[in-house]
């Protein structure tokens, strides 16, 4: 196994896309097989050496940032297995944790298959997406990564290799957990007793539900329970065509009504397996975001107070009727129909995708000119609470005279508020404002993280969501899987809930 310990060689493993400072490690391990991972973990546990699991480092909550000990990179676990087509049209494939998501999606597409999870940053590894239960714009139709995980191979710090397949091992109705390890041994634990928020997306803390499938414990556990070494994923059939549009609105109220109806009709179409409106993405841009974009896209109408980007899959039989149905919805809700954009060919869709992706780039350029970092939210709330949450975001930001843009997954009531500080005083004000947003989201039954996870930088917000007793329960569950408490330290819950590494 390759091991690097020269500091200049391991620099890129001391951080992630959150730019969280202070990462340090003695060495980086590059195992090439699950067996090597298990042996390295057992050795680290025996020596009381903390281990931080590293995927591609695109995470934005500091989960991959090590504070001492070793980093275990999954980069060399990058074998892609056979793609198997199943009789229902979709398929499955197994792959190592270090396979790059966009490579896997490309391989699937070449075989007429679709792997739907689409966190915007395609350079992440499959193992990282499982560890964070990643999701994206298409999650509105297809759900998060969790929905596609059929089986996992997980290496534990006890040196065991767990093979766990969906549908085979369940928690008891009383929350008891028993996972056989072989040789008559097993992991015995209890599920945390908190109830997860009833939001469409949620990626904060361990998944817990009496009677749950135990594979779900590992999905979204952010490198704290075990190292995912291999995944088996479900694939869907590639759609024949996709209809896309960017619909501009002069006012916010009709925009919200448009989204509400598009969502309701999509859910109904799915429930009935019908041919009607069924968006796979419903994405929001507020007026401030459009002001940014207008600099590069002069066709953004001057009077627009907001926009919705939508996508719907089509085939030759449904395309025309669906275009008519969407145009009807646009007109019904007083959109700026003549100035909105629609497209069915790959060129138009690529332009709309570029439009959507231009915003974060432009925001980052704006911040770089001022030497500041954005403060970006990841909360989601239940359907009925969204208009109130959006109003609260805007009123608070305007009252505080803070610059901002709001965009994201409005179909799932999950928009990213990007607060844009112009100087250090505003940076401090932005952070205080973030705290107020968390409080309001929690009071409305929302989650503090719908897709990015908790990592090291959102632990206090997880405490605000669930309270100390729940964090203790999570720590108890972790100790059942990682008795020496060496794995992913500092992720999800504060260090104070764990004994010193190896101190068991």
Ligand X SMILES: Cc1cc2nc3c(=O)[nH]c(=O)nc-3n(C[C@H](O)[C@H](O)[C@H](O)COP(=O)(O)OP(=O)(O)OC[C@H]3O[C@@H](n4cnc5c(N)ncnc54)[C@H](O)[C@@H]3O)c2cc1C
Binding site for ligand X (CB under 6 A): 16-17, 52-60, 63-64, 74, 97, 119-121, 124-125, 127-129, 131-132, 134-136, 222-223, 227-228, 451-452, 455, 488, 491
Cβ partners under 8 Å of residue 107, min gap 6: 80, 83, 93
Q: d(Cα 418, Cα 58) in Å, to the nearest integer?
A: 18
By C-beta, is 226 or 306 nearer to ligand X? 226
Q: d(Cα 408, Cα 415) in Å, to the nearest integer?
A: 4
Q: Is 92 helix (H, G, I), strand (E, B) or coil?
A: strand
Q: d(Cα 228, Cα 131) in Å, to the nearest integer?
A: 8
Nearest distance from residue 442's CB to ligand X, in Å? Answer: 20
By C-beta, is 202 or 263 nearer to ligand X? 202
Q: d(Cα 499, Cα 158) in Å, to the nearest integer?
A: 17
Nearest distance from residue 123's CB to ligand X, in Å? Answer: 7
By C-beta, is 105 or 314 nearer to ligand X? 105
By C-beta, is 280 or 333 nearer to ligand X? 280
3-state helix, strand, coil in the chain (%, to 5): 35, 25, 40
Nearest distance from residue 217's CB to ligand X, in Å? Answer: 12
Q: Where are the alpha helices (DSSP H) in 242-318?
A: 252-272, 287-294
> Encoding tokens for residue 252?
């916010």
In the 8-state DSSP scheme, what is residue 503? Answer: -
Q: d(Cα 52, Cα 15) in Å, to the nearest integer?
A: 11
Nearest distance from residue 126's CB to ligand X, in Å? Answer: 8
By C-beta, is 124 or 325 nearer to ligand X? 124
Asked whether 87 and 77 are in contact (CB, 8 A), the reply is no
* CA quadruple 198, 203, 206, 207: dihedral sign: positive
Torsion angle (degrees, nearest 10) of CA 182, 205, 70, 76? 70
* Closest residue to ligand X, based on beta-carbon distance: 128
By C-beta, is 361 or 384 nearer to ligand X? 361
Look at the block and give the residue holding tokens 């704290």. 224
Nearest distance from residue 204's CB to ligand X, in Å? Answer: 12
Nearest distance from residue 431's CB to ligand X, in Å? Answer: 20
Q: d(Cα 317, Cα 295) in Å, to the nearest integer?
A: 39
Nearest distance from residue 136's CB to ligand X, in Å? Answer: 4
By C-beta, is 17 or 236 nearer to ligand X? 17
By C-beta, is 127 or 245 nearer to ligand X? 127
> Encoding tokens for residue 131?
């560890």
Nearest distance from residue 388's CB to ligand X, in Å? Answer: 24
By C-beta, is 132 or 158 nearer to ligand X? 132
> Encoding tokens for residue 378?
């990841």
Asked whether 171 and 177 are in contact (CB, 8 A), the reply is yes
Nearest distance from residue 200's CB to ligand X, in Å? Answer: 14
């Amino acid at each position: 196994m390759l091991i690097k310990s020269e500091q200049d060689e391991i620099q890129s493993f001391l951080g992630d896309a959150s730019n969280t400072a202070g990462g340090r490690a003695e060495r980086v391990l590059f195992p090439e097989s699950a067996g090597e991972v298990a042996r390295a973990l057992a050795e680290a546990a025996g020596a009381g050496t903390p281990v931080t699991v590293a995927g591609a480092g695109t995470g934005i909550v500091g989960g991959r940032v090590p504070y001492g000990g070793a980093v275990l990179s999954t980069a060399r676990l990058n074998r892609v297995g056979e793609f198997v087509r199943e009789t229902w049209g979709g398929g499955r494939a197994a792959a190592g944790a270090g396979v790059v998501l966009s490579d896997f999606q490309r391989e699937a597409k070449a075989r007429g298959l679709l792997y739907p999870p689409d966190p915007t940053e395609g350079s992440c590894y499959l193992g990282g997406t499982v560890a964070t239960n990643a999701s994206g714009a298409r999650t509105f139709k297809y759900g998060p990564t969790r929905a596609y995980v059929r089986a996992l191979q997980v290496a534990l710090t006890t040196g065991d290799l767990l093979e766990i397949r969906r549908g085979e091992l369940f928690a008891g109705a009383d929350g008891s957990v028993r996972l056989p390890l072989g040789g008559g041994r097993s992991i015995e634990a209890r599920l945390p007793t908190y109830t997860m928020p009833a939001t469409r997306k949620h990626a904060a803390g361990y998944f817990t539900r009496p009677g749950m499938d135990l594979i779900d414990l590992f999905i979204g556990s952010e490198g704290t329970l075990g190292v995912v070494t291999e995944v088996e994923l479900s694939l869907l059939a590639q759609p024949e065509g996709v209809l896309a549009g960017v619909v501009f609105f002069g006012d916010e109220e009709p925009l919200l009504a448009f989204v509400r109806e598009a969502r309701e009709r999509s859910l109904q179409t799915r429930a009935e397996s019908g041919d009607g409106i069924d968006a796979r993405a419903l994405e929001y841009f507020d007026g401030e975001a459009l002001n940014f974009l207008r600099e590069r896209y002069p066709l953004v109408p001057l009077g627009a107070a907001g926009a919705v980007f939508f996508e719907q899959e089509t085939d030759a039989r449904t395309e025309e009727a669906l275009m008519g149905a969407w145009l009807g919805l646009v007109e019904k809700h007083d959109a700026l129909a003549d100035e909105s954009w629609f497209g069915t060919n790959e060129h138009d869709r690529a332009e709309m995708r570029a439009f959507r992706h231009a915003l974060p780039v432009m925001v980052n350029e704006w911040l770089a000119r001022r030497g500041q970092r954005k403060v970006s939210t990841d909360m989601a709330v239940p359907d009925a609470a969204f208009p109130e949450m959006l109003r609260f975001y805007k009123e608070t930001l305007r009252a505080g005279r803070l610059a901002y843009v709001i965009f994201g997954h409005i179909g799932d009531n999950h928009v990213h508020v990007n607060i844009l500080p112009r100087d250090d005083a505003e940076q401090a004000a932005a952070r205080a404002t973030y705290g107020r947003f968390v409080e309001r989201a929690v009071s409305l039954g929302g989650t503090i993280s719908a897709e990015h996870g908790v990592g090291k930088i959102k632990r206090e917000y997880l405490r605000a969501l669930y309270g100390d007793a729940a964090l203790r329960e999570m720590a108890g569950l972790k100790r059942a899987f990682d008795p020496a408490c060496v794995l992913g330290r500092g992720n999800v819950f504060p260090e104070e809930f764990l004994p010193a590494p190896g101190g068991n």
